[in-house]
């Protein structure tokens, strides 16, 4: 079958392309932004990429068009598909019908930590010899690819609450029908899709309604919104994972907890019902990553992987790219890349780095790029997210609908708001000195700022 994918360079749709190619289909795709690493990954798999959305890309007509959720009515290629009655489907529905139907699906959901936790779970199952299939919203470095069909009965998927397509406004994860579900946390995000937190809560409830009675939900203990979702109705056993040292609320106790053995959580014990069942010593840092690991260990335990084996697997874990990834060390200045774009994630990432570097200086550079950020939904909490940084540079793009400088004015001289990438590069490079750590945060390419800064530091 000849399949053409619209929006192919997104992490999810790129994964769909890899899976379709692995199943033996002839795959091509179009995207408005064809750039590495996804473009490189797809080209290596023999998938033809076309820049832009030209109806000519669909001639001769493919057997099926898989349409990504970035596509909307009014787009010339979408109008061409509808006018000419070409067969089309969404990515999540195609995945459900062609990959997931006969598999035990382990889904990782939540506002933060989905990609990292999914990568952890994949590696645990792989290390246990289960040869899982997977689709991750990033590139797990232990595998070097974002998706594969796998030969075992298990399929691990990052379960996003974002909408499915312009013709199916349900959350993507509704299509996955998980048997094992992780809910890491729930916060307000995707303001372009959801009117309020109640709308997000409703979508999570819809997913919970289709988890089998013999399945398992692994939920973050103490997360108010997760609790509210489960209170709306739950017909599946629940196991909770919790905070350092197994701190418990009076109402809900965590079966899974961590006991930190180092300040930066690079070493910790894993506890199940207050008993140590394994120890992790790994490359990652931060309490949030330790808790991501708890969720992955609990999910693997549900499919028969003992916690001690899961902990051993995590010792050799290479984190997903762009998650506090060390890009370079130039003249004793370390440059990191991170995907953080929500105040909670920004704060957690900076806190983890602070725990690692102690009193050494941290320079944060951040692009408010997500649709939620562009609308100014988090402007009141943005400044507080940078308290662990010694200095912060923020990029004020033309498409921001709010006053970024005013929102972070409480940071005083510790912040610079700039509307020019080159000025940020030059200013950060001038400020940096030996022993500093520069953390770049964006959910996009940041106009190549990463490499520009590294080159400037080198010169």
CB contact at 8 A, 111 and 185:
yes
Q: With b meaning 16 or more CB within 10 Å and e meaning fewer, what string describes 381-410?
A: ebbebbebbbbbbbbbeeebeeebeebbee
What mean pLDDT, rounded, does the chain reach? Answer: 91
Query: What single-letter DSSP state applies at residue 381?
Result: H
For 310, the token pair is 């899961």
Average pLDDT score over residue span 158-171: 94
Specify burial of residue 282 (Cβ count, 10 A radius: 0-12, 13-18, 19+).
Answer: buried
Q: Is residue 97 part of a domain?
A: no
Q: How far does Cα 250 stand from its chain's mean position?
A: 31
- Asked if 122 contacts 132 with a C-beta cutoff of 8 angstroms, the reply is yes
CATH number of residue 429's parent domain: 3.90.190.20
* Per-residue confidence band for 252, with pLDDT thresholds at 50, 70 and 90: low
- Asked if 23 and 150 sit in the same domain, the reply is no
Residue 85 sits in the same domain as residue 193: no
Q: State residue 109's pLDDT score.
A: 97
**pLDDT of the residue at 253:** 79
If DSSP codes are grouped into helix, strand and coil, which group holds residue 249?
coil
Domain of residue 171, residue span = 102-314
Any domain includes 63 = yes
pLDDT at 459: 85
pLDDT tens for residues 84-94?
999 999 999 99
Q: 43 with 171, same domain? A: no
- pLDDT tens digit sequence for 274-291: 999 999 999 888 888 999
Q: What is the dihedral of CA 234, 240, 321, 19, to 10 degrees?
A: -40
In degrees, rounded to 5, the angle at the alpha carbon of residue 34 between the alpha carbons of residues 33 and 37 is: 115
Asked if residue 303 lies in contact with residue 104, where contact means CB atoms within 8 angstroms, the answer is yes
- Confirm if 201 and 186 have CB atoms less than 8 A apart: yes
CA distances 37 to 40, 138, 251, 335, 444, Å, are 5, 10, 45, 19, 11
So what's the pLDDT on residue 325? 85
Q: How far apart are the first and last CA of the chain?
A: 51
10 Å Cβ neighbour count for 83? Answer: 9
**Would 181 be classed as within a structural domain?**
yes
Does residue 55 sit in the same domain as residue 120?
no
pLDDT at position 437 is: 96
Tell whether 15 and 153 lie within a shared domain.
no
1-10, 41-50, 383-392, 430-439, range with the lowest pLDDT = 41-50
- What's residue 188's pLDDT? 82
Instruction: Please tell me the predicted confidence (pLDDT) of residue 34.
Output: 73
Residues 163 and 257 in one domain: yes
Q: Does some domain include residue 51?
A: yes
Are 116 and 54 within one domain?
no
CA distance 12 to 268: 32
Q: What angle do CA 321, 443, 164 make, to 5 degrees?
A: 100
Q: In the prediction, which pLDDT does 243 show?
A: 63
Looking at the fold, whether 342 and 415 belong to one and the same domain comes out as yes
**Would you say residue 449 lies in a domain?**
yes
CB 75 within 8 A of CB 166: no
- The rounded distance, in Å, linking the Cα atoms of 350 and 238 is 31
Are 299 and 167 members of one domain?
Answer: yes
> With bands split at pLDDT 50, 70 and 90, how would you rate the model's confidence at 247?
very low
Lowest mean pLDDT among 234-238, 307-311, 447-451: 447-451
Q: What's the rounded mean pLDDT across residues 264-269? A: 92
Last residue of a domain, one of 287, 314, 341: 314
Residue 246 is predicted with a pLDDT of: 39
45 or 304: which leads in pLDDT: 304
Please give the Cα distance from 455 to 395 (Å, whole number): 19
pLDDT value, residue 323? 78
User: Are 82 and 108 contained in the same domain?
Assistant: no
Q: What is the Cα 455 distance to its own chain's centre?
A: 28
Parallel/antiparallel/unpaired status of strands 104-109 and 216-220: unpaired
Quick one: tokens of 109?
A: 């959901």
Provide CB contacts within 8 A for 378, sequence distance 6+. 342, 343, 372
Between residues 429 and 33, the one the model is more confident about: 429
Task: Return the pLDDT at 249.
Answer: 46
Average pLDDT rounded to a whole number, residues 381-399: 92
Number of structural domains (the chain) is 3
Are 35 and 170 contained in the same domain?
A: no
Q: Is residue 345 part of a domain?
A: yes
Domain assignment of residue 319, yes or no? no
Structure tokens at 211: 């988890």
Last residue of a domain, one of 314, 333, 368: 314
Please list the residues that pair with 325 across neighbouring strands.
337
> Does any domain span residue 336?
yes
Q: How confident is the model at residue 78 (pLDDT cuts 50, 70, 90)?
A: very high
Q: Which of 39-53, 91-105, 413-427 has the lowest mean pLDDT?
A: 39-53
Q: Which residues contact 309 (CB under 8 A, 6 or more apart)?
A: 124, 127, 128
**Domain end among 70, 90, 110:** 90
pLDDT digits (tens, 9 = 90+) for 216-246: 999 999 999 999 999 999 999 999 998 644 3
pLDDT of residue 259: 94
């Amino acid at each position: 079958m000849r399949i053409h994918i619209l929006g192919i360079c997104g992490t999810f749709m790129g994964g769909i392309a890899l899976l379709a190619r692995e199943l033996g289909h002839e795959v091509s795709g179009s995207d408005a932004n064809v750039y590495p690493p996804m473009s490189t990954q797809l080209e290596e798999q023999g998938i033809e990429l076309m820049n832009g959305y030209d109806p000519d890309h669909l001639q001769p007509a493919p057997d099926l068009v898989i349409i990504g959720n970035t596509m909307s009515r009014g787009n010339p290629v979408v109008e061409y598909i509808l006018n000419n009655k070409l067969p089309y489907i969404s990515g999540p529905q195609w995945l459900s019908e062609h990959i997931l139907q006969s598999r035990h699906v382990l889904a990782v959901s939540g506002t933060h930590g989905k990609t990292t936790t999914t990568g952890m779970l994949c590696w645990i199952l792989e290390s246990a010899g289960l040869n899982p299939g997977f689709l991750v919203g990033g590139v797990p470095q232990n595998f070097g690819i974002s998706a594969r069909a796998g030969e075992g009965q298990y399929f691990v998927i990052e379960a996003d609450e974002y909408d499915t397509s312009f013709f199916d406004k349900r959350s993507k994860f509704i299509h996955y029908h998980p048997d094992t579900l992780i809910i890491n946390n729930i916060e307000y995000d995707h303001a372009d899709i959801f009117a309020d937190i109640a709308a997000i809560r409703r979508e999570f409830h819809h997913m919970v309604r289709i988890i089998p009675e013999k399945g398992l939900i692994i939920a973050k203990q103490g997360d108010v919104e997760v609790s509210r979702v489960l209170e709306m109705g739950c017909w599946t056993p629940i196991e909770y994972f919790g905070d350092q040292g197994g701190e418990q609320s009076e109402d809900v106790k965590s079966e899974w907890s961590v006991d930190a053995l180092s300040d930066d959580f690079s070493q910790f014990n894993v506890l199940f019902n207050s008993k140590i069942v394994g120890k992790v010593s790994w490359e990652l840092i931060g309490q949030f990553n330790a808790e991501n690991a708890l969720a992955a260990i609990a999910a693997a335990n549900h499919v028969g992987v003992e916690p001690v084996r899961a902990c051993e697997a995590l010792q050799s874990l290479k984190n997903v790219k762009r998650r506090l990834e060390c890009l370079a060390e130039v003249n004793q200045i370390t440059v990191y890349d991170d995907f953080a774009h929500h105040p909670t994630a920004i704060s957690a990432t900076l806190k983890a780095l602070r725990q690692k570097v102690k009193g050494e200086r941290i320079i944060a550079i951040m692009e408010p790029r997500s649709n939620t950020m562009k609308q100014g939904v988090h402007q009141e909490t943005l400044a507080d997210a940078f308290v662990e940084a010694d200095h912060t540079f923020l990029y004020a793009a033309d498409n921001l609908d709010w006053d970024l400088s005013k929102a972070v004015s409480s940071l005083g001289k510790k912040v610079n708001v700039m509307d020019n990438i080159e000025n940020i590069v030059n200013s950060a490079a001038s400020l940096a000195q030996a022993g500093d750590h520069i953390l770049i945060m964006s959910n996009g390419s940041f106009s190549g700022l990463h490499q520009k800064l590294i080159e400037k530091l080198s010169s």
